[in-house]
């Protein structure tokens, strides 16, 4: 008895595993088919943070980051961080321990140049560093060692207003060294520059939506009233990322909470896939009053791999991850001051299996590492993206073991059963996964099989019924009538 | 002679009314061929069928979260709506030279429920064997049932009050307004009662604490 109690006490003392959500400073959840919140195991857990104060550079402390606005992971796994308030770019190694380089000036046209509020940073596939030097109104292109290459500045075009001042905020580069730039007060879209630095036009313009009701009121308002009304201007982009195929993922402000990210093809058209709910705007359910109310405010997007991308919400500090079909995979993160929560999240990046979230106000980088749950989902979705759905089944069953409500896992297993020909099991799982289209396919097959197997029974019953009806009509009813008649005569 | 739901005659007449609404409702008014208890039973049946449809219609056609279905509340809702509709129609037609008694209105509305009951039940059964792209059978069935019910109700109100079609439509419109007014007044009264109750309750609690 004593030993049992001792064992139990010891069990209580054991540290909780990485999946125990009670030790996390934030909630991890997802939405089910009916938009109910379902709490899930943690897909990512805090794994330390990185502040400027703890780093050393050339023998002396680096000093705290001041309002850093952007970070970027280069193809060889180094982290480039735009320390905006200190006007410098800091390069950190992939182990997140050592500062490799601090770029605070460069040599251009024979004179030393510095940055002024660098708000965006990007590394191209051709190993060049692009810095959105916002208050100097230029994008600076450097070699990775800090040697000056060129400026991208002074866009010249008829479509730009007279006296337009170019203030780049975020920058990204594709495989052909085309530069995509989100500029301040630029509502026409993302600005695109050629590799030579010439402005070619706008990209991914978001059209303004005016409701019928607003049109109706504008008809009745006078010119004076109209001038005082809010202008109908397109929403701004907030962050950009370019995937391996050269498609641009761009997050934007969205007051409806419907679509906060776009996937732009080379012509600038939005080709993103929306899921069943037609929503790519972060939270589906939110309050209407108080500090954390309103739709999610997406400030950055990171394209990960195999069609998976994550959005960063500044309103409630959450990270939303979607797959290429627009399904919400998992949600984590929150506002706060504990490790793993943010005050003003500004940028998100992926480093291997880890996610880095830059907090501008706290001046640090929060590191999140993948849990078993997150890894299983990421791998299963990647396999589906590559068309290997059958290989994903063991992973999805593992996901179900951790989170039996996971609709994607249920649907994934159901689809596998469907292609294996086990229609009944497919129906059970597809129904749990709320996948009507595939359920229906399984159901049709099951129905046909049932019909084929039992056709003799059906036909036999039918024939017996017909015979019965004929007998009743032709034999029994006339006899009865005759008997009644006889009785009538007798009376 | 057996009465109400136990009378075979009355049941037979229900089916006659469904197939011959004009005649049927006329004689319900003038020869008492209808039965209030059958009408009430039909309304309860409709409430049951409605909930059953929401719970048991197959996954392919059913987009209702099972956890939100509360059959008792739905039954009560149907019953209350029925009662309010009858009262509303009665109050309006009283003022507009309607010949029907309250009893006739209850029977007219109750009997009109039969097509929608049959259609909903049949649709629930059919839904068990339809797949995607075949939902049309399901929706059309429910649509036909509902349309038949609406037409029967219209004819019923017209016949028992001896109205023309135009006047029936006007009274129906006024009935809807009357229903809204009744609901508004009911909510108001409930609100007042709650306030009086909480007032008395707080006095009671105050007294308990002081004494």
Closest residue to A439, CB basis, from B60, B129, B133 = B60
Pick the range with the lowest mean pLDDT from A225-229, A264-268, A271-275, A484-488.
A225-229
Q: How far is A324 from chain B (nearest CA, A)?
A: 25
Neighbour count for residue A282 (Cβ, 10 Å): 27
**Which element (helix H / strand E) includes A464?**
helix A436-471
pLDDT tens digit sequence for A105-163: 999 888 899 999 999 999 998 999 999 999 999 999 999 988 999 999 888 888 888 88
Across A311-317, average pLDDT: 94
Q: With contact defined as beta carbons under 8 Å apart, do A399 and A391 qualify?
A: no
pLDDT at B205: 95
Output the six-digit token pair for B80.
């209350």
pLDDT for A347 beyond 70:
yes
pLDDT tens digit sequence for B77-103: 999 999 999 999 999 999 998 999 999
The vertex-B85 CA angle with B84 and B91, nearest 5°, equals 85
End position of a domain, from candidates A370, A385, A402? A370
Which of A77, A292, A267 shows the shortest CA–CA distance to A190? A267
Q: Give me the residues paired with residue A113 across strands.
A: A106
For the question of whether the overall pTM of this predicted structure is more than 0.95, the answer is no
pLDDT at A4: 54
User: Is A271 contained in some domain?
Assistant: yes
Across A246-252, average pLDDT: 92
Phi, psi of B50, deg, nearest 5: -60, -50
A433: Cα within 13 Å, side-chain hemisphere:
26
Output the six-digit token pair for A459.
């036909």
**What percentage of chain A reaches a pLDDT higher than 70?**
95
pLDDT at A53: 84
Total domains in chain A come to 2
Which of A424, A369, A347 shows the shortest CA–CA distance to A46? A369
Is A436 an 8 Å CB contact of chain B? yes
Q: Which residue of A lies nearest to B60 if distances are taken between CA atoms? A: A436
Instruction: Clarify whether residues A202 and A298 are in a common domain.
Output: yes
Across A281-310, average pLDDT: 91
Q: With contact defined as beta carbons under 8 Å apart, do A300 and A346 qualify?
A: yes
End position of a domain, from candidates A318, A336, A370? A370
Which of B2, B39, B18 shows the shortest CA–CA distance to B148? B18
Q: 3-state class of A321 per DSSP?
A: strand
What pLDDT tens digit does each residue of chain B (211 aa) get?
A: 577 777 888 999 999 999 999 999 999 999 988 999 999 999 999 999 999 999 999 999 998 988 899 999 999 999 999 999 999 999 999 999 899 999 999 999 999 999 999 999 999 999 999 988 888 999 999 999 999 999 999 999 999 999 999 999 999 999 999 999 999 999 999 999 999 999 999 999 999 999 8
* Cα distances (Å, whole numbers) of residue B42 to A336, B35, B85, B142: 59, 11, 15, 17
Instruction: Clarify whether residues A301 and A403 are in a common domain.
Output: no
Which of B135, B113, B134, B138 shows the shortest CA–CA distance to B125? B138
CATH number for the domain including A447? 1.25.40.10
Q: With contact defined as beta carbons under 8 Å apart, do B78 and B11 qualify?
A: no
* Residues of A with Cβ-Cβ distance to B133 under 8 angstroms: 440
* Residues of A with Cβ-Cβ distance to B132 under 8 angstroms: 436-437, 440-441, 444
ipTM here: 0.80
User: Is A26 contained in some domain?
Assistant: no
pLDDT for A7 beyond 70:
no
Which of A162, A150, A164, A160 shows the shortest CA–CA distance to A197? A150
Is A429 an 8 Å CB contact of chain B? no
Q: Which residue of A lies nearest to B130 if distances are taken between CA atoms? A: A444
Put simply, the chain A residues between 25 and 44 with a CB less than 8 A from any chain B CB are: 34
C-alpha of A403 from chain center: 20
Q: 3-state class of A81 per DSSP?
A: strand
- In this complex, how many residue pairs, one in chain A and one in chain B, have their CB atoms less than 8 Å apart? 20
What number of H helices and E strands is found in chain A?
9, 29
Instruction: Clarify whether residues A421 and A272 are in a common domain.
Output: no
Q: Is B65 in Cβ contact with A443 (below 8 Å)? A: no
Residue A176 DSSP one-character state:
T
Closest residue to B132, CB basis, from A34, A431, A436 = A436
CATH number for the domain including A270? 2.120.10.30
Which of B25, B33, B28 shows the shortest CA–CA distance to B158? B25
Instruction: Clarify whether residues A213 and A85 are in a common domain.
Output: yes
Q: Give me the residues paired with residue A193 across strands.
A: A179, A199
pLDDT at B83: 95
End position of a domain, from candidates A343, A370, A397? A370
Instruction: Clarify whether residues A234 and A319 are in a common domain.
Output: yes
Range of the domain at A395: 371-460
Instruction: Clarify whether residues A284 and A387 are in a common domain.
Output: no
The mean pLDDT value of chain A amounts to 88
pLDDT for A485 beyond 70:
yes
How confident is residue A3, by pLDDT bands cut at 50, 70 and 90? low
Instruction: Clarify whether residues A341 and A410 are in a common domain.
Output: no
């Amino acid at each position: 008895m004593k030993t049992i109690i001792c064992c139990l006490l010891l069990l209580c003392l054991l540290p909780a595993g990485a999946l125990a959500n009670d030790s996390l400073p934030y909630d991890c959840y997802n939405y089910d088919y009916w938009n109910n919140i379902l709490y899930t195991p943690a897909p990512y857990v805090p794994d330390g943070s990185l502040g400027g104060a703890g780093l050393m550079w050339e023998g002396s402390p680096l000093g705290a980051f001041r309002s850093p606005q952007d970070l970027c992971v280069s193809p060889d796994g180094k982290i480039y961080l735009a320390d905006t308030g200190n006007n410098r770019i800091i390069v950190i190694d992939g182990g997140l321990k050592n500062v490799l380089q601090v770029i605070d000036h460069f040599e251009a046209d024979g004179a030393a140049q510095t940055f002024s509020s660098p708000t965006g940073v990007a590394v191209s596939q051709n190993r060049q560093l692009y810095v959105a030097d916002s208050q100097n109104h230029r994008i600076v292109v450097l070699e990775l060692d800090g040697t000056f290459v060129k400026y991208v500045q002074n866009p010249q075009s008829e479509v730009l207003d007279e006296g337009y001042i170019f203030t780049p905020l975020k920058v990204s580069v594709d495989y052909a060294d085309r530069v995509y730039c989100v500029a301040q007060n630029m509502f026409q879209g993302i600005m695109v520059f050629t590799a030579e630095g010439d402005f070619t036009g706008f990209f991914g313009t978001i059209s303004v939506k005016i409701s019928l009701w607003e049109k109706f009121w504008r008809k009745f308002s006078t010119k004076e009233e109209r001038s005082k009304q809010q202008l109908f201007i397109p929403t701004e982009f907030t962050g950009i990322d370019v995937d391996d195929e050269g498609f641009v993922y761009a997050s934007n402000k969205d007051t409806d909470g419907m679509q906060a990210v776009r996937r732009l093809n080379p012509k600038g058209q939005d080709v993103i896939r929306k899921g069943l709910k037609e929503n790519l705007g972060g939270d589906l359910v939110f309050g209407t009053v108080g500090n954390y109310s309103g739709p999610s405010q997406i400030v950055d997007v990171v394209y990960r791999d195999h069609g998976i991308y994550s959005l960063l919400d500044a309103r409630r500090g959450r990270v939303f991850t979607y797959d290429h079909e627009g399904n919400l995979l998992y949600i984590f993160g929150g506002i706060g001051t504990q490790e793993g929560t943010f005050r003003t999240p500004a940028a998100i990046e992926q480093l291997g299996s880890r996610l880095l979230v830059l907090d501008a106000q706290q001046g640090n980088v929060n590191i999140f590492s993948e849990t078993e749950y997150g890894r299983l989902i990421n791998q299963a979705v990647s396999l589906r993206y590559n068309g290997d759905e059958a290989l994903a089944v063991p992973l999805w069953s593992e996901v179900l073991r951790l989170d039996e409500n996971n609709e994607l896992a249920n649907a994934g297993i159901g689809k596998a059963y469907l292609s294996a020909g086990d229609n009944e099991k497919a129906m059970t799982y597809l129904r749990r996964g709320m996948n009507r289209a595939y359920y229906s396919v399984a159901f049709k097959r099951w129905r046909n099989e049932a019909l084929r197997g039992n056709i003799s029974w059906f036909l036999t019953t039918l024939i017996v019924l017909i015979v019965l009806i004929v007998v009743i009509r032709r034999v029994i009813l006339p006899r009865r009538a005759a008997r009644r008649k006889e009785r009538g005569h007798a009376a | 002679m057996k009465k109400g739901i136990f009378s075979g005659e009355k049941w037979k007449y229900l089916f006659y009314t469904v197939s011959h609404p004009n005649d049927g409702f006329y004689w319900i008014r003038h020869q008492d061929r209808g039965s209030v208890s059958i009408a009430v039973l039909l309304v309860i049946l409709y409430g049951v069928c409605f909930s059953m449809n929401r719970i048991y219609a197959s996954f392919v056609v059913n987009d209702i979260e099972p956890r939100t279905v509360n059959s008792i509340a739905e039954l009560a809702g149907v019953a209350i709506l029925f009662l309010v509709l009858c009262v509303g129609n009665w109050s309006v037609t009283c003022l507009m030279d309607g010949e029907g008694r309250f009893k006739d209105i209850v029977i007219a509305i109750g009997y009109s429920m039969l097509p929608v009951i049959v259609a909903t039940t049949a649709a629930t059964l059919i839904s068990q064997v339809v797949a995607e792209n075949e939902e049309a059978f399901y929706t059309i069935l429910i649509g036909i049932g509902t349309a038949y019910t609406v037409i029967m109700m219209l004819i019923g109100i017209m016949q028992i009050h001896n109205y023309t079609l135009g006047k029936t439509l006007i009274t129906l419109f006024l009935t809807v307004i009357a229903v809204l007014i009744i609901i508004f007044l009911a909510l108001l009264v409930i609100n007042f009662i709650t306030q009086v109750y909480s007032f008395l309750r707080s006095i009671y609690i105050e007294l308990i604490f002081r004494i």
